[in-house]
Amino acid sequence: MAQLARAAYFDEPRQAARRYHDSAEFAEVLRLAGPLRGRALDLGAGNGILSWALAEEGWKVTAVEPDSSDLVGAGAIRLVSRESKSPIDVVEAFGEAIPLEAANYDLVVARQVLHHANDLGAFCREMARLVRSGGTVITLRDHVISGPDQLQPFLNSHPLHHLYGGENAFTLAQYRDAITGAGLEIVSEFNSFQSVVNFDPMSEGQVRDRLSDLMRGFRTPVRAALEFIPFRLIAAVAAAADRRPGRLVSFVCRKAA
């Protein structure tokens, strides 16, 4: 599973952090966060790839990660921070109860984290508590199911769940209700192929190729037309039609001033 581990940035933490910094996903995260730099909070920071990338771009970063592991947890974040001399404050805590001062961050980012929450509502309330008024909250790459009947098929098909048992998924309604119930406004919602934050490390060209493969039953001219249709239109249609268990969603939110 070496290729999968590398695509998920689960390989050697220093190499993974540098590669993530140069990724199309992170470039889009910076665009969504806006041009200003301030205090950023990385919730469920894992091995610190996003924390380090933000620090390299001038943010003052705090990383929250409950796992102390030197490979995929707080130990890895401290290693990357120390060896690169990019300062990152590390707090070992779960997202439902974070020992940090309220309204102290301009940007809160949770990458591949909400679907792991033991209490989704409490997790979202902590995000809302910690971001300042007028600040931005970005959640990235969370697994979606259409209903409870899709959960077990998703877990069965996940390539890593059988190794550690840590995967989960919620419906779009559950994510939306938890976010807005915490007092955050959803500014943008990206489903499946609507944003590179969901389909990276695939490129737009690879997405087109994959859709073409799925259309093998169609006449050749129909498949060939995919090359000339604007990608945003293809992405919108593909996202609307996507009902796979475990498909991805990302949100950009604001806390009212």
Closest CA to 105 of 87, 128, 121, 86: 128
- For the chain, the distance separating the N- and C-terminal CA atoms, rounded to the nearest angstrom, is 46
Are the CB atoms for 57 and 30 separated by under 8 Å?
Answer: yes
Predicted local distance difference test score (pLDDT) of residue 208: 85
Length of the chain: 257
The whole-angstrom separation of Cα 27 and Cα 9 is: 16
Place of tokens 């799925």: 214
71-96 burial, b at 16+ Cβ within 10 Å, e below that, comes to: ebbbbbbbbbbeeeebebebbebbbe
In whole angstroms, what is the distance from residue 21 CA to residue 27 CA? 8
* Residue 217, pLDDT score: 64
- Express each pLDDT in 130-169 by its tens digit: 999 999 999 999 999 999 999 999 999 998 888 888 899 9
Intervals of the chain under pLDDT 50: none
Alpha helices by DSSP H, listed for 85-183, are 120-130, 151-157, 161-164, 172-181
